[in-house]
């Protein structure tokens, strides 16, 4: 059995939360995770986009990165972006082989690593082996017990929190927030994304996470949409955080991308006044252009810009070490890093931050798969919060138009909450079943569609490939094709569009 087949034999969807297996695996590999500065990004939605934005920024600044995200759309190689480029199957095969060799000495079935743990160990080994300046890792599921949480990151982020994976993480957002808040580390800055808007529940979750940070002596940079930031700022002002910032964004979006402005607010009298926050003040504010469609992507871009500002001194330090230049290392690590960064170039950093954000491509998130005849959008978001962003973006980009929708979901998702976001938007609806054991049954998909109590035609085609071809051929000129609900539509849709004239 070759190494990629070995990986597949572990079962992509077999989840066993816990850190004992990954710790043993990494110990036997020589603790590769401890050799490279890292950033750890968790949350319900937006974490993969934030990782990709951050990687693109740091690459534009001239630093080497490994971006490790999950899940993949078509191939597991997508989970590994080395300096912005997807690795080859041969490269992945080699690193899985290293991990497999170590795992081969394990005899207790309880200690055998999972699919995700093998890939995570492979990512950390790759980061050490390639001597990258920064490892950027997305949390797989939850946070506290996720395999990536063995990292000791230079900065963390929690991009959003909403109901998802309730069977594993808890039945309410506060339970889920405790799990995701498990990645918060002592004295390590947390970048906190907008938590499902500015409602009362979101503010309770924000306060709970801020309290964890205060207990850990961790500074916070909170990202908030312009106009919704006042309640967030009040929570930060009433906390015992050593220092904090609020990064606000305002954005507009269309088929040609998203444009927005970022601003930064700071406390009048911080408890400590940390020097690292000065870099957030200097580097983040400005106007930014994104290739991606959707105002919510500006929130992810803002989080990435803040993370880049925080990790920049360490990236500079790694660059100096690789060149065996020890001058300035002590001031970067132990003293005020801002003079070294200023010497390197504030304007240079700002320009490259804008260039990195503009260059980043986020696949599967309101992605324009076909520009005309017919227009086709693909969005892989699969929970209620993601659905609300998709529907909001559709209304903004295609005002007054209907979506000819193709929908498929996984069995553990709340299809009724997801599809309720599209009330009034759906023209024809095609339902299909993901060709795997975790795909939602057709009767459950039908029940979700019926819950809207709207009069639109529904086409039921269980075979996914046949459903996609029928759906594309039925999209009228005045409609927009919208495929959504799961990652597992992406590859089949991409293949179908290649085959069409």
pLDDT tens-digit series, residues 306-336: 999 999 998 988 766 555 554 545 555 556 7
Predicted confidence (pLDDT) at residue 167 exceeds the cutoff of 60: no
- pLDDT at site 177: 75
Phi, psi (rounded to 5 degrees) for 30: 90, 25
Predicted confidence (pLDDT) at residue 387 exceeds the cutoff of 80: yes
- Secondary structure percentages of the chain, helix, strand, coil, to 5: 45, 15, 35
The band of 421, judged by pLDDT with boundaries at 50, 70 and 90, is very high
Q: What mean pLDDT do residues 287-295 have?
A: 97
**Mean of the per-residue pLDDT values of the chain:** 90
31-62+132-359 has CATH 3.40.1190.10 classification: yes
Same fold, 31-62+132-359 and 367-499: no
- Half-sphere exposure (Cβ direction) of 470: Cα atoms closer than 13 Å: 16
Overall fold of domain 367-499: 3.90.190
Q: What mean pLDDT do residues 180-192 have?
A: 94
- pLDDT at site 396: 97
Predicted confidence (pLDDT) at residue 216 exceeds the cutoff of 90: yes
- pLDDT at site 87: 98
Cα separation, 53 vs 390, in Å, equals 19
Q: What mean pLDDT do residues 259-288 have?
A: 91
Predicted confidence (pLDDT) at residue 78 exceeds the cutoff of 80: yes
The band of 169, judged by pLDDT with boundaries at 50, 70 and 90, is very low
Instruction: Tell me if the bond preceding 273 is cis, omega within 30° of 0.
Output: no
The band of 266, judged by pLDDT with boundaries at 50, 70 and 90, is very high
Q: What mean pLDDT do residues 241-264 have?
A: 96
Predicted confidence (pLDDT) at residue 104 exceeds the cutoff of 90: no
Cα separation, 245 vs 135, in Å, equals 24
The band of 164, judged by pLDDT with boundaries at 50, 70 and 90, is very low
The band of 228, judged by pLDDT with boundaries at 50, 70 and 90, is confident
- Half-sphere exposure (Cβ direction) of 291: Cα atoms closer than 13 Å: 17
Q: Please state whether beta strands 220-225 and 189-192 pair in parallel, antiparallel, or not at all (unpaired).
A: parallel
pLDDT tens-digit series, residues 36-45: 999 999 998 9
The band of 349, judged by pLDDT with boundaries at 50, 70 and 90, is very high
Burial zone of 316 (CB within 10 Å; 0-12 exposed, 13-18 middle, 19+ buried): buried
- pLDDT at site 1: 67
Domain residue spans of the chain: 1-29+65-130, 31-62+132-359, 367-499
Q: Say what percent of the chain tops pLDDT 90.
A: 73
pTM exceeds 0.85: yes
Q: Where are the beta strands (DSSP E) in 1-124?
A: 38-42, 65-68, 80-82, 85-86
Q: What mean pLDDT do residues 140-165 have?
A: 86
Q: Where are the beta strands (DSSP E) in 401-465?
A: 403-407, 426-431, 458-460
pLDDT tens-digit series, residues 441-464: 999 999 999 999 999 999 999 999
pLDDT tens-digit series, residues 18-28: 899 999 999 99
Which DSSP helix (H) or strand (E) runs through 119? helix 115-129
C-alpha separations of 417 from 380, 445, 447, 448, 483 in Å: 16, 12, 12, 8, 17
Q: Say what percent of the chain tops pLDDT 70.
A: 92
Please name the residues in contact with 360: beta carbons below 8 A apart, sequence gap of 6 or more: 52, 53, 55, 56, 57, 290, 291, 292, 301
Q: What is the largest CA-CA distance in the chain?
A: 70
Which DSSP helix (H) or strand (E) runs through 250? strand 244-254
């Amino acid at each position: 059995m070759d190494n990629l087949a070995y990986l597949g034999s572990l079962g992509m969807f077999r989840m066993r939360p816990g850190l004992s297996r990954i710790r043993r695996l990494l110990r036997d590999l020589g603790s590769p995770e401890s050799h490279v500065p890292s950033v750890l990004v968790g949350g319900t939605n937006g974490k993969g986009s934030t990782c990709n934005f951050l990687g693109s920024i740091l690459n534009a600044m001239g630093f080497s990165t490994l971006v490790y995200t999950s899940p993949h759309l078509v191939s597991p190689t997508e989970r590994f972006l080395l300096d912005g480029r997807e690795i080859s199957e041969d490269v992945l095969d080699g690193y899985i082989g290293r991990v497999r060799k170590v795992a081969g000495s394990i005899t207790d079935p309880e200690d055998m690593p999972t699919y995700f743990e093998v890939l995570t160990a492979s990512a950390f080994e790759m980061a050490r082996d390639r001597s990258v300046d920064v490892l950027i890792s997305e949390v797989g599921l939850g946070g506290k017990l996720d395999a990536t949480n063995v990292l000791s990151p230079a900065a963390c982020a929690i991009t959003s929190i909403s109901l998802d994976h309730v069977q594993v993480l808890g039945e309410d957002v506060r339970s889920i927030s405790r799990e995701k808040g498990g990645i918060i580390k002592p004295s390590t800055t947390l970048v906190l994304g907008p938590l499902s808007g500015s409602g009362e529940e979101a503010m309770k979750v924000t306060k709970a996470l801020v309290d964890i940070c205060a207990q850990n002596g961790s500074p916070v940079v909170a990202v908030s949409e312009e106009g919704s930031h006042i309640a967030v700022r009040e929570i930060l002002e009433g906390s015992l955080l050593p220092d904090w910032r609020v990064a606000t964004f305002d954005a507009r979006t269309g088929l040609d991308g998203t444009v927005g402005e970022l601003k930064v607010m700071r406390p009048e009298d911080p408890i400590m006044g940390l020097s690292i926050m000065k870099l957030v003040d200097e580097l983040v504010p400005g106007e930014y252009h994104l290739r991606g469609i959707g105002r919510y992507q500006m929130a992810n871009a803002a989080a990435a810009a803040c993370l880049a500002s925080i990790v920049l001194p360490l990236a500079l330090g790694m660059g100096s070490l690789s060149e065996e230049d020890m001058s300035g290392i002590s001031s970067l690590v132990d003293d005020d890093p801002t003079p070294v960064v200023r010497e390197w170039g504030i304007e240079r950093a700002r320009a490259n931050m804008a260039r990195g954000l503009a260059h980043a491509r986020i696949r599967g998130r309101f992605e324009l798969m076909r520009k005309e005849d017919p227009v086709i959008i693909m969005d892989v978001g699969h929970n209620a919060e993601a659905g609300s962003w998709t529907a909001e973006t559709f209304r903004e980009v295609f005002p007054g138009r209907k979506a000819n929708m193709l929908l498929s979901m996984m069995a553990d998702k709340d299809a009724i909450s997801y599809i309720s976001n599209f009330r009034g938007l759906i023209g024809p609806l095609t339902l299909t079943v993901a060709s795997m054991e975790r795909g939602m049954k057709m009767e459950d998909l039908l029940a979700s569609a019926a819950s809207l109590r709207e009069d639109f035609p529904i086409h039921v085609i269980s075979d996914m490939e046949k459903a996609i071809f029928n759906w594309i051929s039925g999209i009228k000129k005045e409609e927009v094709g919208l495929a959504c609900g799961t990652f597992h539509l992406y590859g089949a849709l991409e293949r179908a569009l290649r085959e069409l004239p």
